[in-house]
Amino acid sequence: MDKSFFIRNRKKLYETLEDQSLTVLFAGEAAHQSADESYPFYPNRNFYYMTGIIEPKVIFVAAKFGGKFEETLFIERADPWMARWVGETITPDQAREASGVENIELLDKFESYVRSQMDSRVYTHLHVDLEAKSWEFPAKPSNKFAAEAAVTYPYLTIHNLYPVICKFRVVKSAEEIELTREAGKITADGIKHVLASAKPGMREYELEAYFNFVLKSRGCTEFAFPTILASGFNGTVLHYSANTGTAEDGSLVLLDLGAQHKYYNGDISYTFPVNGKFTPRQKTIYDIVLRCNQEITKMAKPGLAFKALNEFTIKFYTEELMKINLIKTPEELRKYYFHGVSHSLGLDTHDVGPYRDMELVPGEIITNEPGLYIPEESIGIRIEDDILITEHGSEVLTTGLPRTTDEIEGFMAENNKNLK
Protein backbone atom coordinates (compact mmCIF):
# COMPACT_ATOMS: atom_id res chain seq x y z
CA MET A 1 0.00 0.00 0.00
CA ASP A 2 1.43 3.41 -0.92
CA LYS A 3 2.09 5.83 1.94
CA SER A 4 -0.37 8.32 0.42
CA PHE A 5 -3.17 6.02 1.65
CA PHE A 6 -2.04 6.36 5.26
CA ILE A 7 -1.44 10.09 4.93
CA ARG A 8 -5.06 10.50 3.74
CA ASN A 9 -6.31 8.43 6.66
CA ARG A 10 -4.46 10.59 9.18
CA LYS A 11 -5.71 13.78 7.56
CA LYS A 12 -9.27 12.49 7.91
CA LEU A 13 -8.62 11.73 11.57
CA TYR A 14 -7.11 15.15 12.26
CA GLU A 15 -10.26 16.84 11.05
CA THR A 16 -12.10 15.27 14.00
CA LEU A 17 -9.59 16.31 16.69
CA GLU A 18 -9.76 19.31 19.02
CA ASP A 19 -6.92 21.80 19.37
CA GLN A 20 -4.58 21.29 22.31
CA SER A 21 -4.74 17.51 21.87
CA LEU A 22 -2.32 14.61 21.80
CA THR A 23 -3.06 11.42 19.87
CA VAL A 24 -1.11 8.27 20.75
CA LEU A 25 -1.40 4.95 18.89
CA PHE A 26 0.47 1.71 19.59
CA ALA A 27 1.47 -1.08 17.19
CA GLY A 28 1.46 -3.60 20.05
CA GLU A 29 3.79 -6.56 20.44
CA ALA A 30 3.69 -10.34 20.23
CA ALA A 31 2.17 -12.13 23.22
CA HIS A 32 4.34 -14.61 25.12
CA GLN A 33 3.51 -18.24 24.37
CA SER A 34 5.84 -20.49 26.39
CA ALA A 35 9.51 -20.66 27.37
CA ASP A 36 11.35 -18.51 24.82
CA GLU A 37 8.56 -18.61 22.23
CA SER A 38 6.08 -15.85 21.41
CA TYR A 39 2.93 -15.97 19.32
CA PRO A 40 3.26 -14.47 15.81
CA PHE A 41 3.07 -10.68 15.79
CA TYR A 42 0.27 -8.90 13.96
CA PRO A 43 0.12 -5.10 14.06
CA ASN A 44 -2.92 -3.52 15.63
CA ARG A 45 -5.13 -2.96 12.61
CA ASN A 46 -6.15 0.58 13.54
CA PHE A 47 -2.48 1.45 14.03
CA TYR A 48 -1.66 -0.03 10.62
CA TYR A 49 -4.58 1.81 9.01
CA MET A 50 -3.14 5.10 10.23
CA THR A 51 0.59 4.48 9.73
CA GLY A 52 1.34 1.56 7.38
CA ILE A 53 3.87 0.27 9.93
CA ILE A 54 3.92 -3.49 10.58
CA GLU A 55 6.76 -3.60 13.15
CA PRO A 56 6.10 -4.40 16.83
CA LYS A 57 6.42 -1.86 19.67
CA VAL A 58 6.30 1.21 17.39
CA ILE A 59 4.37 4.21 18.77
CA PHE A 60 2.77 7.04 16.81
CA VAL A 61 2.11 10.48 18.33
CA ALA A 62 0.29 13.41 16.74
CA ALA A 63 0.18 16.74 18.53
CA LYS A 64 -2.40 19.32 17.50
CA PHE A 65 -1.63 22.74 18.92
CA GLY A 66 -2.41 26.18 17.58
CA GLY A 67 -4.13 24.59 14.57
CA LYS A 68 -0.91 22.84 13.50
CA PHE A 69 -0.02 19.15 13.60
CA GLU A 70 3.26 17.52 14.56
CA GLU A 71 3.63 13.82 13.74
CA THR A 72 6.26 11.57 15.31
CA LEU A 73 6.99 7.86 15.06
CA PHE A 74 8.98 6.15 17.81
CA ILE A 75 10.87 3.06 16.63
CA GLU A 76 13.23 0.62 18.33
CA ARG A 77 16.92 1.42 18.55
CA ALA A 78 18.99 -0.72 16.18
CA ASP A 79 20.66 -3.66 17.92
CA PRO A 80 23.34 -5.29 15.70
CA TRP A 81 23.64 -8.32 17.98
CA MET A 82 19.91 -9.10 18.03
CA ALA A 83 19.76 -8.46 14.28
CA ARG A 84 21.92 -11.56 13.82
CA TRP A 85 19.37 -13.63 15.74
CA VAL A 86 15.98 -12.30 14.62
CA GLY A 87 16.68 -9.78 11.87
CA GLU A 88 16.96 -6.01 11.74
CA THR A 89 14.29 -3.67 13.05
CA ILE A 90 12.79 -0.95 10.89
CA THR A 91 15.11 1.94 10.03
CA PRO A 92 14.14 5.63 10.10
CA ASP A 93 14.15 5.80 6.29
CA GLN A 94 11.97 2.69 6.04
CA ALA A 95 9.54 4.13 8.58
CA ARG A 96 9.29 7.39 6.61
CA GLU A 97 8.75 5.55 3.33
CA ALA A 98 6.04 3.29 4.75
CA SER A 99 4.09 5.94 6.69
CA GLY A 100 4.81 9.36 5.26
CA VAL A 101 5.73 10.54 8.77
CA GLU A 102 8.93 12.58 8.53
CA ASN A 103 9.88 12.92 12.19
CA ILE A 104 11.32 9.63 13.49
CA GLU A 105 12.58 9.21 17.06
CA LEU A 106 13.83 6.27 19.09
CA LEU A 107 11.42 4.36 21.27
CA ASP A 108 13.38 4.99 24.46
CA LYS A 109 12.68 8.72 24.05
CA PHE A 110 8.88 8.33 24.03
CA GLU A 111 8.28 8.99 27.73
CA SER A 112 10.57 12.03 27.84
CA TYR A 113 8.84 13.36 24.70
CA VAL A 114 5.42 13.13 26.33
CA ARG A 115 6.70 14.81 29.50
CA SER A 116 8.29 17.63 27.52
CA GLN A 117 5.07 18.20 25.57
CA MET A 118 3.07 18.39 28.79
CA ASP A 119 5.61 20.71 30.41
CA SER A 120 5.88 23.11 27.50
CA ARG A 121 2.25 23.29 26.35
CA VAL A 122 -1.21 23.25 27.86
CA TYR A 123 -2.86 20.14 26.45
CA THR A 124 -6.45 19.40 27.42
CA HIS A 125 -7.27 16.32 25.32
CA LEU A 126 -5.71 12.87 24.91
CA HIS A 127 -6.92 10.52 22.14
CA VAL A 128 -6.10 6.81 22.33
CA ASP A 129 -7.49 3.56 20.92
CA LEU A 130 -9.26 1.96 23.89
CA GLU A 131 -10.60 -1.21 22.31
CA ALA A 132 -11.93 -3.62 24.93
CA LYS A 133 -14.23 -6.57 24.26
CA SER A 134 -15.19 -7.26 27.85
CA TRP A 135 -14.32 -6.45 31.46
CA GLU A 136 -11.82 -9.33 31.48
CA PHE A 137 -10.23 -8.27 28.18
CA PRO A 138 -6.41 -8.07 28.66
CA ALA A 139 -5.26 -4.46 28.84
CA LYS A 140 -3.40 -3.34 25.71
CA PRO A 141 -0.52 -0.83 25.74
CA SER A 142 -2.93 1.97 24.82
CA ASN A 143 -5.23 1.16 27.75
CA LYS A 144 -2.30 1.06 30.17
CA PHE A 145 -0.96 4.35 28.83
CA ALA A 146 -4.36 6.03 29.16
CA ALA A 147 -4.72 4.80 32.74
CA GLU A 148 -1.29 6.16 33.69
CA ALA A 149 -1.96 9.46 31.91
CA ALA A 150 -5.25 9.87 33.79
CA VAL A 151 -3.37 9.65 37.09
CA THR A 152 -0.37 11.78 36.08
CA TYR A 153 -2.36 14.40 34.17
CA PRO A 154 -5.87 14.33 35.70
CA TYR A 155 -6.84 17.54 33.88
CA LEU A 156 -6.77 15.74 30.52
CA THR A 157 -10.01 14.67 28.89
CA ILE A 158 -9.38 11.18 27.52
CA HIS A 159 -11.17 10.19 24.30
CA ASN A 160 -11.56 6.73 22.78
CA LEU A 161 -10.41 6.71 19.15
CA TYR A 162 -11.49 3.12 18.54
CA PRO A 163 -15.04 3.84 17.27
CA VAL A 164 -13.80 6.84 15.27
CA ILE A 165 -11.21 4.87 13.29
CA CYS A 166 -13.54 1.88 12.97
CA LYS A 167 -16.16 4.07 11.33
CA PHE A 168 -13.56 5.31 8.83
CA ARG A 169 -12.70 1.71 7.97
CA VAL A 170 -16.25 0.80 6.93
CA VAL A 171 -15.92 2.56 3.56
CA LYS A 172 -13.05 1.11 1.55
CA SER A 173 -10.80 3.07 -0.77
CA ALA A 174 -10.06 1.93 -4.32
CA GLU A 175 -6.76 0.44 -3.09
CA GLU A 176 -8.49 -1.55 -0.36
CA ILE A 177 -11.11 -2.88 -2.75
CA GLU A 178 -8.46 -4.19 -5.15
CA LEU A 179 -6.50 -5.86 -2.34
CA THR A 180 -9.69 -7.54 -1.11
CA ARG A 181 -10.53 -8.61 -4.66
CA GLU A 182 -7.09 -10.20 -5.02
CA ALA A 183 -7.45 -11.94 -1.65
CA GLY A 184 -10.72 -13.40 -2.93
CA LYS A 185 -9.12 -14.52 -6.19
CA ILE A 186 -6.32 -16.34 -4.38
CA THR A 187 -8.87 -17.95 -2.07
CA ALA A 188 -10.95 -19.10 -5.04
CA ASP A 189 -7.89 -20.56 -6.75
CA GLY A 190 -7.09 -22.48 -3.56
CA ILE A 191 -10.62 -23.90 -3.48
CA LYS A 192 -10.36 -25.06 -7.09
CA HIS A 193 -7.13 -26.87 -6.22
CA VAL A 194 -9.01 -28.71 -3.46
CA LEU A 195 -11.80 -29.66 -5.88
CA ALA A 196 -9.27 -30.99 -8.37
CA SER A 197 -7.51 -33.11 -5.72
CA ALA A 198 -10.31 -34.52 -3.54
CA LYS A 199 -11.34 -38.14 -3.32
CA PRO A 200 -13.30 -40.23 -0.82
CA GLY A 201 -11.31 -41.43 2.18
CA MET A 202 -9.03 -38.39 2.39
CA ARG A 203 -8.49 -36.80 5.78
CA GLU A 204 -9.74 -33.26 6.15
CA TYR A 205 -6.23 -31.99 6.83
CA GLU A 206 -5.03 -33.56 3.58
CA LEU A 207 -7.63 -31.56 1.67
CA GLU A 208 -6.64 -28.47 3.63
CA ALA A 209 -3.03 -28.92 2.53
CA TYR A 210 -4.02 -28.40 -1.12
CA PHE A 211 -5.55 -25.05 -0.21
CA ASN A 212 -2.53 -24.06 1.87
CA PHE A 213 -0.15 -24.84 -1.00
CA VAL A 214 -1.85 -22.37 -3.34
CA LEU A 215 -1.79 -19.59 -0.76
CA LYS A 216 1.86 -20.08 0.12
CA SER A 217 2.86 -20.34 -3.54
CA ARG A 218 1.07 -17.01 -4.17
CA GLY A 219 2.97 -15.21 -1.43
CA CYS A 220 0.31 -15.23 1.28
CA THR A 221 2.13 -15.59 4.59
CA GLU A 222 -1.05 -15.56 6.68
CA PHE A 223 -4.61 -16.81 6.50
CA ALA A 224 -7.68 -14.65 7.02
CA PHE A 225 -8.65 -17.00 9.89
CA PRO A 226 -8.12 -20.66 10.85
CA THR A 227 -9.40 -22.79 8.00
CA ILE A 228 -12.66 -24.69 8.46
CA LEU A 229 -12.63 -27.86 6.38
CA ALA A 230 -15.45 -30.07 7.57
CA SER A 231 -16.84 -33.26 6.04
CA GLY A 232 -20.12 -34.99 6.74
CA PHE A 233 -21.51 -34.31 10.23
CA ASN A 234 -18.59 -31.97 11.00
CA GLY A 235 -20.02 -29.56 8.43
CA THR A 236 -23.04 -29.00 10.67
CA VAL A 237 -20.79 -27.48 13.36
CA LEU A 238 -20.48 -23.79 12.49
CA HIS A 239 -16.89 -23.13 13.57
CA TYR A 240 -15.46 -26.64 13.42
CA SER A 241 -11.73 -26.27 12.77
CA ALA A 242 -10.04 -29.44 14.01
CA ASN A 243 -9.90 -30.71 10.39
CA THR A 244 -9.02 -34.24 11.52
CA GLY A 245 -12.01 -36.20 10.19
CA THR A 246 -12.28 -38.41 7.13
CA ALA A 247 -14.27 -37.37 4.05
CA GLU A 248 -16.26 -40.53 3.48
CA ASP A 249 -17.75 -41.50 0.13
CA GLY A 250 -21.09 -39.76 -0.37
CA SER A 251 -20.37 -36.98 2.11
CA LEU A 252 -20.29 -33.24 1.54
CA VAL A 253 -17.23 -31.17 2.36
CA LEU A 254 -17.80 -27.66 3.70
CA LEU A 255 -14.99 -25.12 3.35
CA ASP A 256 -14.87 -21.77 5.10
CA LEU A 257 -11.50 -20.19 4.51
CA GLY A 258 -9.64 -17.18 3.22
CA ALA A 259 -6.33 -15.78 2.05
CA GLN A 260 -4.87 -12.69 3.64
CA HIS A 261 -3.27 -10.52 0.96
CA LYS A 262 -1.24 -7.55 2.19
CA TYR A 263 -3.34 -7.50 5.38
CA TYR A 264 -6.69 -7.58 3.55
CA ASN A 265 -8.83 -10.68 3.78
CA GLY A 266 -10.82 -12.92 1.50
CA ASP A 267 -13.60 -15.01 3.04
CA ILE A 268 -15.35 -17.72 1.02
CA SER A 269 -17.53 -20.64 2.09
CA TYR A 270 -17.93 -23.49 -0.36
CA THR A 271 -19.58 -26.90 -0.29
CA PHE A 272 -18.96 -29.86 -2.62
CA PRO A 273 -19.40 -33.67 -2.71
CA VAL A 274 -16.09 -35.43 -2.10
CA ASN A 275 -16.92 -38.08 -4.74
CA GLY A 276 -17.90 -35.47 -7.32
CA LYS A 277 -21.65 -36.23 -7.32
CA PHE A 278 -24.43 -34.69 -5.24
CA THR A 279 -27.22 -36.96 -4.03
CA PRO A 280 -30.76 -35.78 -4.87
CA ARG A 281 -31.29 -34.72 -1.24
CA GLN A 282 -27.99 -32.83 -1.13
CA LYS A 283 -28.93 -31.06 -4.36
CA THR A 284 -32.28 -29.99 -2.94
CA ILE A 285 -30.72 -28.40 0.14
CA TYR A 286 -27.81 -26.93 -1.81
CA ASP A 287 -30.12 -25.26 -4.32
CA ILE A 288 -32.11 -23.60 -1.52
CA VAL A 289 -28.92 -22.14 -0.04
CA LEU A 290 -27.65 -21.01 -3.45
CA ARG A 291 -30.92 -19.27 -4.31
CA CYS A 292 -30.78 -17.45 -0.98
CA ASN A 293 -27.21 -16.34 -1.72
CA GLN A 294 -28.26 -15.05 -5.14
CA GLU A 295 -31.23 -13.14 -3.73
CA ILE A 296 -29.07 -11.49 -1.09
CA THR A 297 -26.69 -10.28 -3.81
CA LYS A 298 -29.62 -8.80 -5.72
CA MET A 299 -31.07 -6.94 -2.74
CA ALA A 300 -27.81 -5.56 -1.29
CA LYS A 301 -27.58 -1.86 -2.16
CA PRO A 302 -26.98 1.55 -0.56
CA GLY A 303 -29.64 2.59 1.91
CA LEU A 304 -30.69 -0.94 2.82
CA ALA A 305 -30.59 -1.65 6.55
CA PHE A 306 -27.88 -4.21 7.28
CA LYS A 307 -30.25 -6.24 9.43
CA ALA A 308 -32.66 -6.55 6.48
CA LEU A 309 -30.31 -9.09 4.89
CA ASN A 310 -30.77 -11.56 7.72
CA GLU A 311 -34.46 -10.81 8.05
CA PHE A 312 -34.87 -11.80 4.39
CA THR A 313 -32.80 -14.95 4.92
CA ILE A 314 -34.99 -16.10 7.79
CA LYS A 315 -38.18 -15.48 5.80
CA PHE A 316 -36.79 -17.20 2.69
CA TYR A 317 -35.61 -20.25 4.59
CA THR A 318 -38.82 -20.57 6.54
CA GLU A 319 -40.86 -20.72 3.35
CA GLU A 320 -38.48 -23.08 1.53
CA LEU A 321 -38.00 -25.53 4.39
CA MET A 322 -41.72 -25.73 5.01
CA LYS A 323 -42.19 -26.60 1.31
CA ILE A 324 -39.92 -29.64 1.68
CA ASN A 325 -41.41 -30.53 5.09
CA LEU A 326 -38.12 -30.12 6.95
CA ILE A 327 -39.88 -27.75 9.36
CA LYS A 328 -43.56 -27.30 10.17
CA THR A 329 -43.43 -23.98 12.09
CA PRO A 330 -41.22 -20.86 11.74
CA GLU A 331 -39.87 -21.44 15.25
CA GLU A 332 -38.20 -24.66 14.08
CA LEU A 333 -35.92 -22.84 11.63
CA ARG A 334 -33.36 -22.02 14.29
CA LYS A 335 -32.49 -25.71 14.50
CA TYR A 336 -31.13 -25.55 10.96
CA TYR A 337 -30.07 -21.90 10.59
CA PHE A 338 -28.59 -20.16 13.61
CA HIS A 339 -26.11 -17.47 12.49
CA GLY A 340 -26.20 -14.16 10.67
CA VAL A 341 -25.96 -14.00 6.90
CA SER A 342 -23.36 -11.24 6.69
CA HIS A 343 -20.54 -9.33 8.31
CA SER A 344 -18.22 -6.56 7.21
CA LEU A 345 -14.87 -7.53 5.67
CA GLY A 346 -11.53 -5.73 5.42
CA LEU A 347 -8.39 -5.56 7.54
CA ASP A 348 -10.20 -7.86 9.96
CA THR A 349 -12.19 -10.81 8.68
CA HIS A 350 -15.07 -9.81 10.94
CA ASP A 351 -14.31 -6.21 10.21
CA VAL A 352 -14.96 -3.34 12.57
CA GLY A 353 -17.54 -0.58 12.44
CA PRO A 354 -21.10 -0.06 13.68
CA TYR A 355 -22.45 -1.78 10.56
CA ARG A 356 -25.06 -3.83 12.41
CA ASP A 357 -26.96 -0.64 13.23
CA MET A 358 -26.30 1.10 9.91
CA GLU A 359 -27.60 1.21 6.40
CA LEU A 360 -25.33 -0.13 3.67
CA VAL A 361 -23.17 2.52 1.99
CA PRO A 362 -21.15 2.62 -1.25
CA GLY A 363 -17.62 1.34 -0.69
CA GLU A 364 -18.58 -1.09 2.06
CA ILE A 365 -17.53 -4.72 1.65
CA ILE A 366 -19.68 -7.38 3.29
CA THR A 367 -20.01 -11.14 3.13
CA ASN A 368 -23.04 -13.02 1.84
CA GLU A 369 -23.06 -16.40 3.56
CA PRO A 370 -26.36 -18.24 3.97
CA GLY A 371 -26.09 -21.78 5.30
CA LEU A 372 -28.23 -24.73 6.33
CA TYR A 373 -27.17 -27.41 8.78
CA ILE A 374 -29.08 -30.68 9.21
CA PRO A 375 -27.23 -32.77 11.83
CA GLU A 376 -29.55 -35.78 11.58
CA GLU A 377 -28.67 -36.08 7.87
CA SER A 378 -24.99 -35.04 8.20
CA ILE A 379 -25.65 -32.27 5.70
CA GLY A 380 -23.93 -28.94 6.25
CA ILE A 381 -23.99 -26.40 3.42
CA ARG A 382 -22.76 -22.82 3.40
CA ILE A 383 -22.21 -20.66 0.32
CA GLU A 384 -20.34 -17.41 0.83
CA ASP A 385 -19.24 -14.57 -1.41
CA ASP A 386 -17.63 -11.22 -0.65
CA ILE A 387 -19.62 -8.34 -2.14
CA LEU A 388 -18.89 -4.66 -2.63
CA ILE A 389 -21.71 -2.16 -2.17
CA THR A 390 -21.66 0.09 -5.23
CA GLU A 391 -23.48 3.33 -6.00
CA HIS A 392 -26.57 1.52 -7.25
CA GLY A 393 -26.31 -2.08 -6.05
CA SER A 394 -23.57 -4.59 -5.36
CA GLU A 395 -20.68 -6.37 -7.09
CA VAL A 396 -19.48 -9.86 -6.25
CA LEU A 397 -15.71 -9.75 -5.66
CA THR A 398 -15.26 -13.52 -5.31
CA THR A 399 -15.86 -14.72 -8.85
CA GLY A 400 -14.51 -17.59 -10.94
CA LEU A 401 -15.82 -20.52 -8.92
CA PRO A 402 -18.30 -23.17 -10.11
CA ARG A 403 -21.36 -22.54 -7.97
CA THR A 404 -24.35 -24.56 -9.19
CA THR A 405 -24.48 -28.31 -8.56
CA ASP A 406 -24.08 -28.97 -12.28
CA GLU A 407 -21.08 -26.63 -12.49
CA ILE A 408 -19.40 -28.26 -9.49
CA GLU A 409 -19.95 -31.78 -10.80
CA GLY A 410 -18.74 -30.72 -14.24
CA PHE A 411 -15.60 -29.06 -12.88
CA MET A 412 -14.68 -32.09 -10.79
CA ALA A 413 -15.34 -34.49 -13.67
CA GLU A 414 -13.08 -32.50 -15.96
CA ASN A 415 -10.27 -31.55 -13.54
CA ASN A 416 -10.11 -34.22 -10.83
CA LYS A 417 -7.98 -37.18 -11.99
CA ASN A 418 -8.54 -38.96 -8.65
CA LEU A 419 -12.18 -39.57 -9.54
CA LYS A 420 -11.61 -40.99 -13.04
Residues designated catalytic? 36, 239, 256, 267, 339, 343, 350, 369, 373, 382, 384
Q: What Cα–Cα distance (Å) separates residue 136 from each residue in 44, 85, 139, 140, 275?
A: 19, 35, 9, 12, 47
Q: What Cα–Cα distance (Å) separates residue 63 from each residue in 22, 131, 356?
A: 5, 21, 33
Q: What angle do CA 288, 412, 285 make, to 5 degrees?
A: 15
Give the CA count within 13 Å in the CB-facing half-sphere of 130.
Answer: 14
**What contacts 74, CB < 8 A, 6 or more positions away?**
58, 59, 60, 61, 104, 105, 106, 107, 109, 110, 113
Nearest-angstrom CA–CA distance, 295 and 401: 18
Decide if 207 contacts 194 (C-beta within 8 A).
Answer: yes
Backbone angles phi, psi at 271, to 5 degrees: -130, 135
Q: What Cα–Cα distance (Å) separates residue 237 from each residue in 28, 83, 148, 352, 386?
A: 33, 45, 44, 25, 22
**What number of other Cβ atoms are within 10 A of residue 81's Cβ?**
6
Crossing angle for the helix pair 3-14 and 162-170, nearest 10 degrees? Answer: 130
Q: For the chain, give me the number of helices (H) and strands (E)?
A: 12, 19
